[in-house]
Amino acid sequence: GNDTNNEDSTAAPVRKEIQIYLVQSGDTISGIAKKFGISINTILWENNLSLSSYINPGDKLNILPVTGIAYVIQSGDTLSAIAKKYGTTIEKILASNNLESAGSIKARQKIIIPDGQLGYSAPARTRSIYASSSGALSANNFLWPSNSKRITQYYSWRHLAIDIGAQLGTPIYAARAGRIERAGWSTGYGYNIIINHGGGVKTLYAHASKLYVQHGDQVEQGEIIGAVGSSGWSTGPHVHFEIIINGSKVNPLSYL
């Protein structure tokens, strides 16, 4: 048999086309970028998103085959000018678009510019925005702060919070947008975060294993602010979650 061509049949074919991706519940932009092996900016630029944008299940995202940007040729454009403007080479553009030569481009043709940049770069702190499944937002607009829904301790006069049992290292999500008022260690709470949402409303998240935010940061609702842990006075990995309204710790389940 003639088997000489089968050696690389397992390798994924190199994509040349822009693909449409349907956002699934729980997706993050960074996770989607990783899945397709492209940069976060590639997704943001092509879909007119910013780092603070929400993605929702069912949204359609254009996924370029490589890291870079898509560009529509204008009349009078030359590939050398395009390559220079976006910081790449003519060779890379030709290879990514199956173009014979620099002269074979036409106006209104959409091309991929590999490693092209839109002239700005992402801020240092990359954000993971949580695509919440439609039911996760309560009427009061608080997002459940963990992927786990297992309550290990309810709110009571002795325990002015709920404890959500979750696996070590899983994400803790900001229940609402706001400013980080505290991110650090306290006795009892271990590593903990307080977000000030304005209007007298704050939320507290305790016993984290890692903190991904610092004092003064602005966070979006659903942003990953830390990782579940068991620091401080804790019997196992969980999120101790408080909602504080005008200084009073209220029952979070009345709001979630």
Do residues 76 and 177 both lie within one domain? no
pLDDT (0 to 100) of residue 80: 86
Is 6 domain-assigned? no
Is 5 domain-assigned? no
CATH number at residue 147: 2.70.70.10
**CA count, 13 A, side-chain hemisphere, 236:** 9
Q: Where among 89, 109, 128 does a domain terminate?
A: 128
Name the residue range of residue 56's domain. 12-128
How many residues can be counted in the chain?
Answer: 256
Q: Cα–Cα distance between 133 and 74 in angstroms, integer?
A: 40
pLDDT (0 to 100) of residue 125: 41
Is 7 domain-assigned? no
Q: One-letter amino acid identity for 13?
A: P
Question: Considering only CA atoms, which of 238, 252, 142 is closest in space to residue 197?
Answer: 142
Do residues 142 and 51 both lie within one domain? no
Do residues 114 and 143 both lie within one domain? no
Do residues 159 and 250 both lie within one domain? yes
Is 4 domain-assigned? no
Do residues 85 and 144 both lie within one domain? no
Do residues 139 and 236 both lie within one domain? yes
**pTM across the whole model:** 0.50
Q: Interior CA angle at 108 toward 15 and 33, to 5°?
A: 35
Do residues 45 and 140 both lie within one domain? no
Do residues 30 and 94 both lie within one domain? yes
pLDDT in tens, 168-182: 999 999 999 999 999
Is 196 domain-assigned? yes
Question: Considering only CA atoms, which of 216, 215, 219, 188 is closest in space to residue 242?
Answer: 188
Q: Where among 99, 128, 157 does a domain terminate?
A: 128
CATH number at residue 40: 3.10.350.10
Is 187 domain-assigned? yes
pLDDT (0 to 100) of residue 133: 38
pLDDT in tens, 197-239: 998 999 999 999 999 898 999 888 888 899 999 988 888 899 9
- SS3 labels along the chain: CCCHHHCCCCCCCCCCCCEEEECCCCCCHHHHHHHHCCCHHHHHHHCCCCCCCCCCCCCEEEECCCCEEEEECCCCCCHHHHHHHCCCCHHHHHHHCCCCCHHHCCCCCEEEEECCCCCCCCCCCCCCECCCCHHHECCCCCECCCCCCEEEECCCCCCCCEEEECCCCCEEECCCCEEEEEEEEECCCEEEEEEEEECCEEEEEEEEEEECCCCCCEECCCEEEEEEECCCCCCCCEEEEEEEECCEEECHHHCC
Q: Where among 113, 128, 143 does a domain terminate?
A: 128
Tokens 């014979």 belong to: 100
> What region, left, alpha or beta, does residue 7 occupy, with left being phi > 0 and alpha being psi -120 to 50 degrees?
alpha
pLDDT (0 to 100) of residue 206: 96
How many domains does one find in the chain?
2
Q: Cα–Cα distance between 137 and 187 in angstroms, integer?
A: 31
Do residues 177 and 250 both lie within one domain? yes
Do residues 16 and 110 both lie within one domain? yes
Is 124 domain-assigned? yes
Do residues 141 and 48 both lie within one domain? no
Residues of the chain with confidence (pLDDT) below 70: 1-14, 51-52, 119-140
Do residues 72 and 93 both lie within one domain? yes
